Structure 1
């Protein structure tokens, strides 16, 4: 048996709504609604808001090789992201009561997703030779451009 950090599990009050990973997967599987929107920017990661509801936001991001986020969290938001194409690496950082930091690396290929809870800290990057695309879902909806 293993312990699941509380910041990677949805709060019990949130479980009646569609899980962010399911929303991300459904959007990713519906390429005809977003594929024509994708752009690549050599200067910075490109992103675009696909949908905002009272409950959540859905963003699409493109990643050229070597593009990355800084280590960050999403405040009180929970959510998920799924890789649609390419390969992304997530470095998740966990703190044990603020005394010890543990880093975990996850390599994600097309079809794989990661879920995060409030205050989950991570860094996402494209270390591969090919561009990547990912779909990100945040709950509650945010008012700013996502960092990853």
Structure 2
């Protein structure tokens, strides 16, 4: 099931509406976030992620890809950098977020229930840069490549 639409959040919502059509069922891994690519074509890809309480990403970008993510169940906290500080926003089930090619964020399950999310990237992810915030400045910590790091 691949949905071509101008808006990646619309694509995520369409996938969320049909979990029976997902090629894999969500799993939860106490060792770390679980993820699986649900679909890909030259224009975009769709990923399913699960989050147990306390699991989170590093501060990262999407290597020039734009996209969106949608919280399918549970709640996630997205932190973005503004004024040299991390600013949190809680997204509950049904809430989504579009982002541009230069978006840097950290996503975490700060709640007490597991969470499931769908992520759409255009074009498909080829690299991600991980950052650290030092004295209000973003510093590159690592560049991860598709096929190597995930």
Flag whether TM exceeds 0.5 (same fold): yes
Corresponding residue for residue 63 of structure 1: 51
Q: 1:126 aligns with which of 101, 106, 109?
A: 109
CA distance in 2, matches of 1:47, 1:27: 15
In the alignment, which residue of structure 1 is the partner of 2:91? 108
**Cα deviation, residue 102, structure 1:** 4.6
Q: Report the more deviating stretch, 102-111 or 56-65.
A: 102-111
Structure 1 unaligned regions, length at least 5:
1-16, 95-99
Across the aligned residues of Structure 1 and Structure 2, the Cα RMSD in angstroms comes to 2.0
CA offset at residue 34 of structure 1?
A: 2.4
For structure 1, which segment, 29-38 or 112-121, has the greater mean C-alpha deviation from structure 2 after superposition? 29-38
Between the aligned partners of 2:101 and 2:24, the Cα distance in structure 1 is 32
* TM-score normalised by structure 1 residue count: 0.79
Specify which structure has the higher proportion of strand.
Answer: 2
CA distance in 1, matches of 2:116, 2:96: 12
Q: Superposed, which structure 2 residues align to 1:27-106 within 5 Å? A: 27-34=15-22, 37-94=25-82, 100-106=83-89
The structure carrying a bigger helix percent of its residues is 1
> Which residue pairs with 1:137 in the alignment?
120
Change (3 A) 1:45 1:79: same
Are 2:28 and 2:34, in contact at CA under 8 Å, matched by a contact in 1? yes
Give the Cα–Cα distance (whole angstroms) in 1 for the partners of residues 100 and 24 of structure 2: 31
Which residue of structure 1 lines up, in the alignment, with residue 130 of structure 2? none
Structure 2 runs not aligned, ≥5 long: 127-145
Corresponding position of 1:3: none
Contact 2:42/2:124 (8 A) holds in 1? yes
Equivalences for residues 19-34 of structure 1 within 5 A: 19-34=7-22
